[in-house]
């Protein structure tokens, strides 16, 4: 097995937190050596166990508290350490140091996941895959929390809890676990025309990858790059697997799920153990800020791609995964990604889905990881040292010295000061914001079918047949005929023969749809 290079700052940092129990004497958490790990303390050898038995109490209490809540979405995951190497400088577009110094290697931790299933569900579900990367840069952690599909179901964060409630097991009976084939999911989808592009991806072979190392990764939203002069470009992020994109067919997925539900987890683990390191090319699509309105879709709309024919992907770096975690819980389970973790040179756009995500991740991690100090958990620590006046809270690990924890102060005594931009201090892009305060969807978000069509038409004939069969299978599980009919009505806006074929197999007719979704203007004409 090839050993990863020893220059990985993050691995060195983690090493200082590692413990080995090899050949050690068993102790309590207080360091007391234990001389009998077989029997509890009793009043007589057949008598009741004594409350006094602090060794038994400690062991059982800790066991009782071993579980933390699983992630509310993306609960099932697999992770690995690795390195990101920059091959071509992006200094013209961004001042982010890890993207400007050619040859620079940045440690990363990557977590792949399914979205809907629980922690113990199968890897082979028809589902979106999470593709989340934590770059431990010298300027702080940068998280790219993406998926293996370049678009999303919804355009506005307001709909996320509804989407997830529809896709998760139904609340009355908790069925089904990991498949999307059920009434609530398709009911919601049938009422949300904006999901149609994503549905084409979800019903395609892309939703059942052959392995994590054979799937693409996408940042989904448009982000912004800001260069040294303050000039901005829109940027879309891509990861392209060196092994190419491969999927399994649905019947294969069914069988594998029965035999080895850990198929993807095992593949990732074993390939890294055997020195076959998964690799991706990292690429960007760049659009000058002043070209924002040049496209027939809105760059802020997360249900749209930027076609690669119009804006080619420039490959600038390599992502390599070369080390398995030492401990699944400590690393893969406790890692906390957040699209709001950025570094100077990268900024957000006004994509209304992204804006909502910026709130959600810390909020959920506060409960999932037990309070405000989860950034101190080893896997989440920045390799850049952390200095601020935040203090206290559950599970505080740092021991900041001195009596001052506020700013400004005249006492000094170890208090950190804000950094100038020239010292690497982060400043948000200065951008003009104006407009009436409205709770509305932009009209520029209204075309829900052109790119769904584009995707369907890009499929080869066998791929189209797989997609049709997926729809037929999924919709045949829907028990309410009106829902089946509405989905087929949506499909008719994408491809009439697709709608027709599916309708025939699931026993409904293709009817002209009126838009049932209030957010869609009545005069929109998708045909």
Which residues are registered as beta bridge partners of 239? 217, 282
Give the Cβ contact number of residue 111 at 10 Å.
23
| Subset of 124-143 contacting ligand HEM (CB under 6 A) | 130, 132
Q: How far is the CB of 112 from ligand HEM (least distance, A)?
A: 7
Does 129 carry a binding-site annotation? Answer: no
72: contact with ligand HEM by CB under 6 A? yes
Q: Segment near ligand HEM (CB under 6 A), from 8-16, 272-280, 352-360, 465-473?
A: 352-360
The helix/strand/coil state of 145 is: strand
Per-residue x/- track, 83-112, ligand HEM (CB under 6 A): ----------------------------x-
Rounded Cα gap, residues 90 and 102, in angstroms? 9
What Å distances lie between residue 77 and 140, 239, 241, 524, CA to CA? 24, 18, 19, 40
User: Considering beta carbons, is residue 367 or 524 the nearer one to ligand HEM?
Assistant: 367
Q: Distance (Å, rounded) from C-alpha 10 to C-alpha 326?
A: 13
Catalytically annotated residues: 74, 147
Which residues are CB-neighbours of 56 under 8 A, at least 6 positions away? 40, 41, 49
CB-based burial label for 493 (10 Å; 0-12, 13-18, 19+): buried
Could you give the CA distance from residue 147 to residue 132 in angstroms, rounded to a whole number? 7
Given a contact cutoff of 8 angstroms between Cβ atoms, the answer to whether 76 and 117 are in contact is yes
Of 146, 217, 345, 378, which one interacts with ligand HEM (CB under 6 A)? 146
Binding to ligand HEM by residue 157, rule CB under 6 A? yes
Q: What are the residues facing 86 on neighbouring strands?
A: 317
Q: Is 160 annotated as belonging to a binding site? A: yes
Residue at shortest CB range from ligand HEM: 130
> Per rule CB under 6 A, is residue 113 in the interface with ligand HEM?
yes
Number of amino acids touching ligand HEM (CB under 6 A): 27
The whole-angstrom separation of Cα 7 and Cα 251 is: 44
CA distances from residue 346 to 24, 350, 453, 506 in whole angstroms, order as listed: 47, 14, 32, 48
Among 145, 253, 483, 499, binds ligand HEM (CB under 6 A): 145
**Shortest Å distance, C-beta 195 to ligand HEM:** 12
- What stretch of H or E contains 358? helix 352-368
Measured from the CB atom, the residue of 54 and 160 that comes closer to ligand HEM is 160
Judged by CB under 6 A, does residue 118 bind ligand HEM? Answer: no
Stretch that binds ligand HEM, among 273-281, 363-371, 396-404, 441-449 (CB under 6 A): 363-371
CB atoms within 10 A of CB 97: 18
Could you tell me the CA-to-CA distances from 155 to 195, 448, 474 in Å, in that order? 9, 10, 24
What ranges make up the beta strands (E) of 338-472?
Answer: 346-347
Looking at residues 204 to 223 of the shown chain, list those that interact with ligand HEM (rule: CB under 6 A).
220
What minimum distance in Å lies between the beta carbon of 188 and ligand HEM?
A: 15
Residue closer to ligand HEM (CB basis): 219 or 489: 219
- Residue 357 in marked binding region: yes
Q: Is residue 486 annotated as involved in ligand binding?
A: no
Tell me: does residue 307 bind ligand HEM (CB under 6 A). Answer: no
Among residues 361, 374, 455, 456, which is the contact residue for ligand HEM, using CB under 6 A?
361
Query: Of 101-109, 207-215, 304-312, 364-372, which segment contacts ligand HEM by CB under 6 A?
Result: 364-372
Token pair listed for 295:
């496209």
Of 304, 341, 357, 484, the residue at the interface with ligand HEM (CB under 6 A) is: 357
Residue burial 158-176, b: 16+ Cβ < 10 Å; e: rest? ebbeebeebbbbeeeeeeb
CB of 417 to ligand HEM, least distance (A): 32
Footprint on this chain of ligand HEM (rule: CB under 6 A): 71-74, 77, 111, 113, 130, 132, 145-147, 152, 157, 160, 220, 335-337, 353, 356-357, 360-361, 364-365, 368
Where is the binding site for heme, in residues?
71, 111, 160, 357, 361, 368
């Amino acid at each position: 097995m090839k050993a990863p290079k020893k220059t990985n700052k993050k691995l060195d940092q983690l090493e200082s937190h590692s413990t080995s129990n090899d050949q050690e004497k068993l102790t309590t958490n207080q360091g007391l050596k234990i001389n009998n790990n077989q029997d509890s303390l009793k009043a007589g050898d057949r008598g009741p166990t004594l409350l006094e038995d602090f060794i038994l109490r400690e062991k059982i209490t800790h066991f009782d508290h071993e579980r933390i809540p699983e992630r509310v979405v993306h609960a099932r995951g697999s992770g690995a350490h690795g390195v990101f190497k920059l091959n071509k400088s992006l200094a013209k577009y961004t001042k982010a140091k890890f993207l400007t110094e050619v040859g620079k290697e940045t440690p990363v931790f990557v977590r792949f996941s399914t979205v809907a299933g629980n922690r113990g569900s199968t890897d082979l579900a028809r589902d979106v895959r999470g593709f989340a990367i934590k770059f431990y840069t010298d300027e702080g952690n940068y998280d790219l929390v993406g998926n293996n599909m370049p678009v999303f179901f919804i355009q506005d964060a307001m709909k996320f809890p509804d989407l997830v409630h529809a896709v998760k097991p139904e609340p009355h009976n908790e069925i089904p676990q990991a498949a999307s084939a059920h009434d609530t999911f398709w009911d919601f989808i049938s009422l949300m025309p904006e999901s149609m592009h994503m549905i084409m991806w979800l019903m395609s072979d892309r939703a059942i990858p052959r392995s994590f190392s054979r799937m693409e990764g996408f940042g989904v939203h448009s982000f912004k790059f800001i260069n040294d002069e303050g000039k901005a470009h829109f940027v879309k992020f891509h990861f392209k697997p060196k092994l190419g994109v491969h999927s399994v067919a649905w019947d294969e997925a069914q069988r594998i799920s029965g035999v080895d539900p850990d198929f993807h987890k095992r593949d990732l683990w074993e390939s890294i153990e055997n020195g076959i390191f998964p690799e991706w090319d990292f690429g960007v699509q760049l659009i000058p800020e002043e070209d924002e309105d040049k496209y027939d879709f809105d760059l802020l709309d997360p249900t749209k791609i930027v076609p690669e024919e119009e804006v080619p992907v420039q490959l600038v770096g390599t992502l390599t995964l070369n080390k398995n975690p030492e401990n699944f819980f400590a690393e893969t389970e406790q890692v906390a990604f957040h699209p709001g973790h950025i570094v100077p040179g990268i900024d957000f756009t006004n994509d209304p889905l992204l804006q909502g995500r910026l709130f959600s991740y810390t909020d959920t991690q506060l409960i999932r990881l037990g309070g405000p100090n989860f950034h101190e958990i080893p896997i989440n620590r920045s390799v850049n040292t952390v200095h601020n006046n935040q203090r206290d809270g559950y599970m505080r690990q740092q021991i900041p010295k001195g009596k001052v924890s506020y700013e400004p102060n005249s006492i000094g005594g170890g208090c950190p000061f804000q950094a100038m931009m020239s010292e690497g201090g982060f400043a948000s892009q200065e951008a003009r914001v104006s407009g009436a305060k409205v709770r509305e969807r932009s009209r520029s978000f209204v075309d829900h079918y052109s790119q769904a069509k584009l995707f369907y038409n890009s499929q080869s004939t066998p791929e189209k047949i797989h997609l049709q069969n997926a729809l037929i299978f999924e919709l045949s599980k829907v028990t309410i005929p009106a829902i089946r009919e509405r989905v087929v009505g949506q499909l008719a806006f994408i491809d009439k023969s697709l709608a027709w074929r599916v309708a025939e197999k699931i026993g409904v007719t293709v009817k002209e749809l009126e838009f049932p979704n209030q957010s869609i203007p009545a005069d929109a004409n998708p045909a």
